[in-house]
Structure 1
Amino acid sequence: MSNESLQYLLQRLDLGMVWVDNENRVIGFNDVAWQLLAPAGEQTLGVPRERLHGINLLNLHPAKSRDKLALLLNGGETVSVDRCPVRSPPPMTMMINIPDRVLLLKVSKIFGTEGIAGACMVYYDLTDVTTEPRAKSADDKIHDNDALALPRRLSKIPVYRANRLVLIEVEDTLRLESADHYTWIVTATDKYLSNLSLSDLEERLDPAVFFRCHRSHIVNLHHVREVERDGDTLHLVFDKPNSARIPVSRTHTRDFRELMGL
């Protein structure tokens, strides 16, 4: 998908919007947000829909995502009443498992005569443009239970760069490297910082192709040029960029040997 067609697609997507006060308590939803977050609240929290107004918005997202979401909601400096509002923080990509969506979130601060009064969280649902159709396990065929469905695998990895959304083709990804709670996505020609964690991405990639060789590294086996031994340590070598050598940790060496038939 070209950058132009992607931006055009974003313009056509329905926006989900949630309004929150200064304590991140939900004031209201638009219909798009309600259709997604109300079922999520019922399934993950057991909270009836009529009690979602007033709930802390962080509690409608997976626990592992709440720190990042809190940073997005609370980002920025305090505004005085006699000047323009703060610049909103950059958008953030997030995966939520119920009902298994990939979202691009934006937050815009709301201010009045006394300063910041709350925020509006706006999101684009990128699920259909970044994932393959939902995979089913053998049990699904027997029980036809959506709760047993496997997560939708990523076909594209969304990153936000230079004020534009970029979708990286999964097959073009050579490797992924952890950077605290973020991840570097490395291709043959560039390197992108994603605010998705390595674990988030690992859950949505094909394990037969993307191998977790180290706590900080996932590699695309299709792009590994050779395997080098350095004492008791194996290294995976890539042609690009810069003939990178990625270690295979001892805890993953046996799995790697079995996967490769070594």
Structure 2
Amino acid sequence: MQETQRSETFQHRLEQFNPGMVWLDLSNRITALNDIAMQILGPAAEQSLGVKKNGLLGLNVLQLHPERSRNKLSFILDSQDPVGCPLKSPPPVAMMINIPDKVLMIKASKMVGAGGITGTCMVFYDLTDVTTVPSSVNSAQPVPPRRLYKIPVYRKNRVVLIDLNEIIRFQGDGHYTTITTKDDRFLSNLSLTDLESRLDPEIYIRVHRSHIISIQHIVELVRNKDSVSLTMVDNEQSLIPVSRSKVPQIKDLLGIV
């Protein structure tokens, strides 16, 4: 019940957001954009490409995203419905763009004219302020990624924000990540790499190439002959492998000699 109420409250807030809107041609080059998109994408273009705001038109939108995110964005931009309906589009995705302090939820829809598909309309909501802690670094210094305190996921036609303190572990699989809480699982299209740099390193440790865990939710450390694993507090009592290089750090954090 509480989760439903929180979701409904956030959905109401989402309706009040001013979306960024970008028109793309068939080659995913920017042909037009509104002022919200200009404010967000302009700094991305300047920081990553050295392009001024007025130089956004004609740029391939993929260039404004980190290289690791381009395949994901390309997938949603180029997706075609299997039955051939160009008006259907994939669900929104959460993405980090090439600015250290931005988290966007993106939706893309094909646009159809008299001659067929003419391009794509990309709509996005800036979720930065509702998912991250404001940076306290002086603007003259390099700005680190803003730390997450909520994770946006898309579920049952809704954007849901998961509180970090409810998350027991993250399990990565390519561009996607399974988020496990005590009673539930969620699929996020943020990768472990996206998440790792934005989580509190004193609480969330990447113990294996495919796993980040919350040290607050460890039940026990299990030693086998050639390996070490961690039992977590979720309903399945998940057993998470620990890479050899991480074993000393985990033992130190748990006070184990």
Q: What TM-score do the two structures reach when normalised by structure 1?
A: 0.91
Q: Does the Cα contact within 8 Å between 1:135 and 1:152 map onto a contact in 2?
A: no
| 236-245 or 108-117, which deviates more | 236-245
Aligned to 1:38: 42
The gaps in structure 2 that reach 5 residues or longer are none
Aligned to 2:208: 214
For residues 89-131 of structure 1, give each alpha carbon's deviation from its aligned partner in whole angstroms, at most 9, with x where no partner exists: 1101001241520000000110011111001100000000011
Distance in 1 (alpha carbons) for counterparts of 2:144 and 2:101 = 9
Residue of 49, 53, 66 corresponding to 2:57:
53
Residue 132 of structure 1 aligns to a residue in which SS?
coil
The one-letter code sitting in structure 2 at the alignment partner of 1:108 is S
Aligned to 1:26: 30
Deviation at 1:73, TM superposition (A): 0.6
Residue 99 of structure 2 aligns to a residue in which SS?
coil
Overall identity of the aligned pairs, in % = 48
Q: Does the Cα contact within 8 Å between 2:80 and 2:86 map onto a contact in 1?
A: no
Distance in 2 (alpha carbons) for counterparts of 1:120 and 1:203 = 30
Aligned to 1:121: 122
The one-letter code sitting in structure 1 at the alignment partner of 2:7 is N
Runs of 4+ off more than 6 Å: none
Deviation at 1:244, TM superposition (A): 1.1
For residues 15-70 of structure 1, give each alpha carbon's deviation from its aligned partner in whole angstroms, at most 9, with x where no partner exists: 00000000001101100000111121011101233322111111111111111111
Q: Does the Cα contact within 8 Å between 1:79 and 1:115 map onto a contact in 2?
A: no
Distance in 1 (alpha carbons) for counterparts of 2:39 and 2:82 = 33
Distance in 2 (alpha carbons) for counterparts of 1:135 and 1:229 = 41
Deviation at 1:135, TM superposition (A): 4.2
Distance in 2 (alpha carbons) for counterparts of 1:251 and 1:97 = 30
Residues 1-262 of structure 1: matches in 2 within 5 Å? 2-77=6-81, 85-98=86-99, 100-136=101-137, 140=138, 144-146=139-141, 148-262=142-256
Q: Does the Cα contact within 8 Å between 2:100 and 2:143 map onto a contact in 1?
A: no
RMSD of equivalent CA atoms: 1.7
Distance in 1 (alpha carbons) for counterparts of 2:232 and 2:43 = 44
Q: Does the Cα contact within 8 Å between 2:168 and 2:233 map onto a contact in 1?
A: no
Deviation at 1:235, TM superposition (A): 1.2
Q: Does the Cα contact within 8 Å between 1:40 and 1:99 map onto a contact in 2?
A: no
Distance in 2 (alpha carbons) for counterparts of 1:50 and 1:204 = 31
For residues 224-245 of structure 1, give each alpha carbon's deviation from its aligned partner in whole angstroms, at most 9, with x where no partner exists: 1111111131111123221111
The one-letter code sitting in structure 1 at the alignment partner of 2:32 is G
Distance in 1 (alpha carbons) for counterparts of 2:133 and 2:105 = 17
Equivalent residue pairs, number: 252
